[in-house]
A = this chain, B = another copy of it.
């Protein structure tokens, strides 16, 4: 009855990921179906399974991209021309900003406990944390121990997690975020 699409509109992983990202951001992982994604693209849901083995793998492909984005942002902030203290502030705040401005992705990167999805998570979170830790360590002028950096990370993570659950945007909690960062840095620069 229906005919397959012409060659130039052949379905690609990129196309699927673009459509999926939009839907995931609006509705969240659990509330997006493979059929919805396919419909958005004008294909049948079966076609997606040709390009991705399942929903989790499709989602994880998106996640990997976003870990890359977070790393990019960290590097960018670390290269800014600011005093260490300001740079450190910017990085901690930048982490929160990233988390709240990419809520669906943060959720997948750090929150989804779903076994299906977790099986696809590999080294990405670890690598990204390593970068975070090293950057913070050097900016702290060696005053922060590994353990303290880890505590800072967990504390930022708690902030993001909490407000992400309440679906608030970064702008809505900017003051709170700044105060949280100050709290975490208090004592380090004896300010």
Footprint of B on A, CB under 8 Å? 28, 30, 107, 110-111, 113-114, 147-148, 150-152, 154-159, 161-162, 164-165, 167, 176, 179-180, 183-184, 186-187
Contact = CB atoms under 8 A, between A and B. Distances in A.
A156 B159 CA distance: 10
Nearest to A114: B30
A79 B60 CA distance: 47
Interface of A is mostly: helix
A62 to B, nearest CB: 18
A151 B92 CA distance: 14
A152 B154 CA distance: 11
A154 B158 contact: yes
A161 B109 CA distance: 13
Contact of A161 (B111, B147, B179, B180): B111
A186 B147 CA distance: 13
